[in-house]
Structure 1
C-alpha cells in the first residue's frame, strides 16, 4: 500500500480524477499508475511534462509509487531555463502524454508515454510503499527571481505532513470533490490540487483551463464541494457574479473556497461574500515550506490575513537585528521564519544555498509580516522587494496595495520603493485604473491611502499602466515594472 495514497490499497470504482474527456476511478488510477511504476522501478529521477491533463497526474502518482523523484516541468518554460533545470536535476527520462509535443531541449531524453488504460492490472508490487519518509518525492524548481531556479527537494514526509495539516484545518475528507484549473507544475496545483484529494480518497476535477462557466458547471450541476484558485481567478468570478445567477448558486453551495499564491484584494473578498454568503479562505505557503498557515473555515471573514499556523508548524517573526518579535500587536514588522515537518530537505546540489536559507533550524521565508493579537499572520510583502524604508519607518508594500485596491477607481495595484535623497526611499504606486479614460489623480490616491493607513504610507509617485506584469500563478513581477512603465 502506498502511505501517500491509502485509497490505492483497495482500489474501487469511486471517482478519483477527471480532466476534460479523461476520467479515472481509483481502480483505473491504480492500474495506470501501477503499470507506470513498474516501468520506472529503479530509475533515478524522471521529468514530467506537466501539461494540465490526466496524464500528468498519473505520471506523478506512478513516480511516487515507484519511489522515483519527479521533476515537474512547466510547458511554458523558455529554452535557457529548461536547459538549466535539466542540467541541474539530470533526469533519466521524461514522462508525457502521448499527444504532447515536446521542445527540442528534451530531445536527448528517453520519452515514456503515459498510458491511462494499460492492459492487465499493472504491477501490484508498485503499490507497496517501502520508501523512507525522508526519501525525495518531488523536486520543484523555484521561479528564479533572485538567480537561476533552484531545485527544492520535497520529501514524502513533507508532502504527507502538509496535506494532513490542511485536512485537519479544512475538515477535508473523502467526500469532498475539489474543482480547480491551476497549473500542474507548481505546489498549489499539483501537490495541493492533485495529490491532496487523492491522499484523502476523494475526487479532483481539473478544468484544463480556467473559465467562469467551468467553475459554475463543476461546483453547481456536478456537485463540487471545494474550489482552489488564485486571485486573478477569483477576481474574474467576482466580476461575473453580478450577472450570473447560476454562478452565484454554485459558489454559494460550495463548502470551501480557497485562494492562494498571492493576496486576494479585500474588494474581491467583499464582492464574493456579498453575492454568495461564502467567505474565501486564504492560506500561506511557498515551495520550500509547502503550507504554513490558513484562515480557519467558519472563523469569520479575515481579509488581509492568511490565518494561523497549521498543526505541526511553528512560526515566528524576526527583526533585522535577529531578535524575535514577542508581541502580537498588529504593528511590529518582521521576517517570517518557520519550522516543522512541512519543510523541504534542501536545495538540490546547493548546500551553500540551503545553509543560507536557515537560521538554525528555522527557515527564513523572506516574507515580511505582522501578527494580530489572536496569532493571525498578516503578510506585508517580500523582504527583498516589498519592505520600504521611508523617513525612518519600515513599511510593507502589501498593506498599501490593499488600500489602493479599496479605491473604486483602481482595478490593479502594485507598490515598490525607489531611492529618495530625503526619505531614503519613496513609495511608488503602479496602478491600473478601472477606467483608463478617467483615472483617479495621484493626489487623490495619496490622500486615500493616508486616510486609511497613515500619512507616511501614502505614495509619493503614481504611475499608470494598462496591466501589471504577472507570472503563470498570477503573482506580480515587480522587477518588470520599470519596463512596463
Structure 2
C-alpha cells in the first residue's frame, strides 16, 4: 500500500451532488466544483505562484481551490488595496499569473501579469485526481496588514490549513451536515480559510451573502444554515437590530453556532444577543501567522470576554518580558507564545523578521498580551506594542479598561491608550464615543466607574471625546491613528 497523504478536500474527490458553495442565486455541487476547479488547475501549468483577485464571489473560491488542487501557492489580493501596497506585494511575491472574474478591471500592478478568467461553468466529465503535496508545501501566501513598514507575506503550509480546520472540527463539533453562512471578505484567514475552505474540508456547505446584511443572516439561518461567522462590527449591527426584529432573533435562536473573531466582541453586545436569542456568541483567537490558536468550545462554557482554551495540537504559554513562563492567574499579564502544526513557515524574503518572530524553542511570539484563568480560559488584554500600559509600577492591559468603559450606559464606543507621564511613566488615556454627544459622561464619572469596577490605578487620567473611533474593514481599532 502506497503512503499517500490525505487530500486537503476529500469530498472533492468523491464528487457528490451535494451543494458545496452558494453565492446568491448560484450554487455549485461538489461534483461541479471539482470540475470547475479541476479544469482551471490544469490551465495553471507549472506556475510558481498565482495571485487571486479576491472579490466576495464564487469565482474567487474556485480560483483558490484550483490553485490548492494544483499545489501552486495562491496569493489572495484585497481588491481595496492601495497602489503602493499592491506594487510591494507583486514585486515581493512575483506571481506569474493572476486569476480574476471575467469583467473585473485590474489595477496597473496586476495588468502586466498573464491573466486567466475564472469560469464557474465546468467541463463535464472532467475527473482527474490530484496528488496531495507534502504537508510543508506552501498553500497560501497571505500578507499581514503592516502596522510597521510594508506588509509581510506569511507563507502558510498545507499542514497549517488542515490542522487548524481539524482542530476546529473538534472544538466546534463541525460536521458535513453543517451549513455555514457568512459575509466576510475572501482575502484573509477568517473569510477564506475558515469560511470557505473550512466547510469544503468537512464536506459541508457554505452560503456566502456577497456582503453582510442582517436580512441575509435571517434568510439563510431560517432556511437550514446552522452556523454564522462574523466580526464584531457585524454582531454589533445584529445586537442593535434585534429589539425590533423578531425574525432575526428567531433565526439566531435556531443556529447551532455563532462565532465571532478578528477582534474582541464587546461584553454589551454579547449580553444583548444572548438576552434576545438565548444563544451565546463564542469567540476564537488566531492570526495570519498562526491560523487558529484558541476557541471557546461548542461543548464548553461560553464565557464572554474570553477566547476560550487552546485548540487541540496547540501549545500556548504566557511569558514576561524576560521570556519566563508565567503561572495562570488574574494579575499575571504576559505575552502569548504558541507552537504547533498551525504555524506559518516563514515571512517571504524576510529571514530577519522570521528569525525575530520565533523563540529558540520554536514558539511564535504573537505580540498579544493576555491573562489565563485557572481553568485555562485565555483573556486577551491587548497588543504588546499599543495596549500594554506601564503606569505607576503596574502593567495594565488596555482591553480590560475598554470593556469596563463600554459597560457605562453613556458610552457607545471606547478605546484606551497610554501616553508618557513624568510621574507615572505612562498615564491611561480614554477615547470615548458618547451615546449622546450633547450630554457626554464627565471625566470624573468615567474615572470613578473604572476605579470601582477594576482598581484605582487603572482609571483613565485623560479623556478625549470623538464622534467615531478609527477602525479598519475588519472592525479592528487603529490605535496609532488616535494619537495622529
For the criterion TM > 0.5, the same-fold answer is: yes
**Paired residues of 1:230 and 1:260 also in contact (CA < 8 A):** yes
**Paired residues of 1:35 and 1:121 also in contact (CA < 8 A):** no
Query: Following superposition of structure 1 onto structure 2, how do residues 279-358 of structure 1 map, counting pairs within 5 Å?
Result: 279-325=280-326, 327-358=327-358
Which one of the candidate residues 59, 64, 70 is aligned to 2:68? Answer: 64
**Paired residues of 1:420 and 1:426 also in contact (CA < 8 A):** yes
Unaligned 5+ segments in structure 1 are none
SS at match of 1:413: strand
**Paired residues of 2:335 and 2:367 also in contact (CA < 8 A):** yes
Which one of the candidate residues 185, 192, 195 is aligned to 1:190? Answer: 192
CA–CA distance in 2 between the matches of 1:57 and 1:405?
A: 37
Q: 1:267 corresponds to which residue?
A: 268
Indicate the RMSD between aligned Cα atoms, in angstroms.
Answer: 1.0
Deviation at 1:11, TM superposition (A): 0.7
CA–CA distance in 2 between the matches of 1:142 and 1:438?
A: 40
SS at match of 2:283: strand
Matched, 1:129 2:131: yes
Deviation at 1:286, TM superposition (A): 0.3
Matched, 1:424 2:425: yes
**Paired residues of 1:41 and 1:68 also in contact (CA < 8 A):** no
CA–CA distance in 1 between the matches of 2:176 and 2:437?
A: 47
Query: Following superposition of structure 1 onto structure 2, how do residues 5-24 of structure 1 map, counting pairs within 5 Å?
Result: 5-24=9-28
Deviation at 1:2, TM superposition (A): 6.9
Deviation at 1:351, TM superposition (A): 1.0
**Paired residues of 2:32 and 2:122 also in contact (CA < 8 A):** no
Q: 1:217 corresponds to which residue?
A: 219
Q: 1:158 corresponds to which residue?
A: 160
CA–CA distance in 2 between the matches of 1:470 and 1:129?
A: 42
Could you tell which deviates more after superposition, 13-22 or 265-274?
13-22
Query: Following superposition of structure 1 onto structure 2, how do residues 30-429 of structure 1 map, counting pairs within 5 Å?
Result: 30-122=34-126, 124-125=127-128, 127-220=129-222, 222-325=223-326, 327-360=327-360, 361-429=362-430
Unaligned 5+ segments in structure 2 are none
Residues 164-185 of structure 1: CA deviation (Å, up to 9, x unaligned):
0001000000000000011100
SS at match of 1:411: strand
**Paired residues of 1:48 and 1:95 also in contact (CA < 8 A):** yes
CA–CA distance in 1 between the matches of 2:245 and 2:55?
A: 30
TM-score by length of 1: 0.97
Deviation at 1:63, TM superposition (A): 0.3
CA–CA distance in 1 between the matches of 2:103 and 2:55?
A: 11
Q: 1:451 corresponds to which residue?
A: 452
**Paired residues of 2:8 and 2:132 also in contact (CA < 8 A):** no
CA–CA distance in 2 between the matches of 1:22 and 1:40?
A: 25
Deviation at 1:328, TM superposition (A): 1.1
SS at match of 2:342: coil
SS at match of 1:148: coil
CA–CA distance in 2 between the matches of 1:132 and 1:119?
A: 28
SS at match of 2:276: helix
Could you tell which deviates more after superposition, 96-105 or 70-79?
96-105
Deviation at 1:121, TM superposition (A): 3.2
Deviation at 1:368, TM superposition (A): 0.4
SS at match of 2:329: coil
Aligned residues between the structures: 479
CA–CA distance in 2 between the matches of 1:287 and 1:416?
A: 24
Deviation at 1:217, TM superposition (A): 0.6
Residues 362-384 of structure 1: CA deviation (Å, up to 9, x unaligned):
10000000010101111000001
